[in-house]
Amino acid sequence: MAPIKSSTFLPSSLLDPPSELELPRSELTRLLALVSQHVCDINDAATTAAASTLDTVNWDPKSHVDAVELVRSLAKNEDRAPEEGVKSPEGFDDLLKFVCEKATAYGELSYGINHTGPGMQAFIPGGGLLQTGLADLVGNALNSYVGLWVGSPGMVQLETNVIKWFTNLIGYPTTGFGSFSSGGSTTNWSATVCARRRRFTEEEGFTRAVAYASDQAHMCVVRGCVAAGIPARNVRRVPTDRTTFRMQVEVLEAMIVDDIANGWAPFLVVANAGSTNTGAVDDLNAIAKVVKKHPEVWFHVDACYGGCFIMTDRGRELLRGIECSDSVSLDLHKSLFLPHGTGLLLVRDAEYLRYAFSDVNGEYLPRPEDTKEDDLMFPSFCDFSLELTRPVRGLRVWLPLKMHGLGTFRRYLDEKWDLARWAWKELASIALIERVTEPQISVLSFRWKGQGKGMDGKRRDAMTLRLMAHVNKGGKVFLANTRLPEWGVVVRICVLHYRTHLEHMKTTLEEIRSATEAVLREQV
């Protein structure tokens, strides 16, 4: 057959198309081997690299001279993207070395916080389990689209399976469902949208809407309300007791009754299942009973930190009542040890989540006439979140759970719980330390105990910060501080990294003992 003759002129870009982005198998294999080597080097260095290289009392960037110089060197001549890429076969390796040695917590020029090591006991650590990185590599190579069921039915079902694993763990009925997102800020916001849309119509508005959260609720709870159109002043902060920092449920009930009597419209109660400050777990069962008296109020549990401990016997008892909630937020990059960016919102009734996000559709999307798509058998994830396009987040959870099973993660979580209890008991032997909040799961706190002339609250706060600075300066452990009502500044220990074991907690206690002696010498 003779070739078809074109009646129009063809530009050179069609006759000689670019091919640089399509890597031959041999080159892809070489690049993957280089990546593998660098990742293994990072993994080997994780347990020996400094936990932190920052001044953890003064967070002003200008006080970190070396880090500022690094940042300036990275920013130099980088106003525009390069017109030409690397040419030599070694160029890719050089780029990887540049990232690993210059911009991260490894190599000779390492500044910042080492989030992959056992000394990371500040904030709520994210583990960075490498198995998840392998899942992400495969997911990115497949580039599956899960916004619509038809985009990748198999991958959508795989992610649906993972969601169902967690709805079953929480104790939700078969109507339960959920959606993955980047983390607690978005999942807590999504729960707020669900609550608002169930309670109010667009026509009536929600200027009289009020939500309730304890004075220990994460900042993202209030931010989520504001992003959902609820003024920050309409978020009632329920007081906590000053020993356990759990919500005072009787005060919550009185506040709801009082608000209703004064013409307000309660629509949301947010409880903690592991607060950031102290790891406090509210009495979820008691809160559920209060909310049950007000069917128009949505009961959400922020379990970003503590939720996965429900896998353990102790956790299931502590979290009793979570199964009565309307929704739960989980950060699997916390107590499931995965890399940052693995949030999961679970809801008791999938229809409320679908209603919150699926009433606007595009004519360009291939959709069945029945948007419910046979209930939850054929879900399109764009109907259950704000995102239309997103990564295949379920795969990064599916692979490590399939590789190791819940039993392995349960043993790790039980170990972290026991390590926190061990550290709490050991702190009692340090005379200059005052223990403040006992671990309800794996977070505990303490402060400087020193007494004597001039030891007022301001001076104790300063001494506590100095103590923490001495601990962190050694580079073996990284701790962070917070401020608690009626206690002032305290130092937190959060035992959650999968690499943290007894030997590392012994190091933590040794560093605290040494730091107290150093502070005492300075005081004298």
One domain for residues 415 and 398: no
Question: Is residue 135 one of the residues assigned to a domain?
Answer: no
pLDDT of 109 reads: 43
pLDDT of 60 reads: 78
One domain for residues 286 and 335: yes
Nearest alpha-carbon partner for 334 in 425, 385, 397:
397
User: What whole-number distance in Å separates Cα of residue 413 and Cα of residue 322?
Assistant: 19
pLDDT of 7 reads: 63
What are the average pLDDT values for consecutive 10-residue runs of the chain, which has 524 residues? 67 91 95 92 86 76 79 89 90 88 58 89 94 96 95 96 98 98 98 97 90 98 97 98 98 98 98 98 98 98 98 98 98 97 98 92 79 72 94 97 98 98 98 97 95 83 95 94 97 98 98 96 80
Question: Is residue 28 one of the residues assigned to a domain?
Answer: no
pLDDT of 375 reads: 64
Question: Is residue 466 one of the residues assigned to a domain?
Answer: yes
Amino acid at 488: G
One domain for residues 268 and 375: yes
Which of 353, 371, 404 terminates a domain? The answer is 404
Count of domains for the chain: 2
One domain for residues 356 and 247: yes
3-state helix, strand, coil in the chain (%, to 5): 45, 15, 40
Contacts of 400 (CB under 8 A, 6+ apart): 129, 131, 132, 135, 336, 338
Full domain range(s) for residue 394: 145-404
Q: List, for residues 452-499, the tens digit of each pLDDT value.
A: 677 899 999 999 999 999 999 999 999 999 999 999 999 999 999 999
CATH code for the domain of 483: 3.90.1150.170
Backbone angles phi, psi at 189, to 5 degrees: -65, -45
One domain for residues 450 and 474: yes
Question: Is residue 37 one of the residues assigned to a domain?
Answer: no
One domain for residues 359 and 496: no
pLDDT of 64 reads: 79
One domain for residues 454 and 504: yes
Question: Bridge-partner residues for 102, per DSSP?
Answer: none
Question: Is residue 82 one of the residues assigned to a domain?
Answer: no
One domain for residues 431 and 390: no
Residue 247 token pair: 């919500």
One domain for residues 179 and 233: yes
User: What whole-number distance in Å separates Cα of residue 424 and Cα of residue 66?
Assistant: 36
User: What whole-number distance in Å separates Cα of residue 485 and Cα of residue 487?
Assistant: 5
pLDDT of 129 reads: 96
CATH code for the domain of 269: 3.40.640.10
One domain for residues 339 and 456: no
Which region, left, alpha or beta, applies to residue 313 given φ > 0 means left and ψ of -120 to 50 means alpha?
alpha
The position carrying tokens 């069962």 is: 285
Residue 292 token pair: 């049950």
Tell me the three state secondary structure of residue 254.
Answer: helix
Exposure class string for 348-374: b at 16+ Cβ within 10 A, else e: bbbebbbebbbeeeeeeeebeeeeebe
pLDDT of 89 reads: 80
One domain for residues 176 and 273: yes
User: What whole-number distance in Å separates Cα of residue 515 and Cα of residue 521?
Assistant: 10
Question: Is residue 116 one of the residues assigned to a domain?
Answer: no
Question: Is residue 393 one of the residues assigned to a domain?
Answer: yes
pLDDT of 72 reads: 87
One domain for residues 352 and 496: no
Which of 355, 389, 404 terminates a domain? The answer is 404
pLDDT of 221 reads: 98
Instruction: Dump the DSSP string for 64-112.
Output: -HHHHHHHHHHHTT-SS--SS---STTHHHHHHHHHHHHSSS-SSS--S
Question: Is residue 272 one of the residues assigned to a domain?
Answer: yes
Which of 404, 433, 458 terminates a domain? The answer is 404
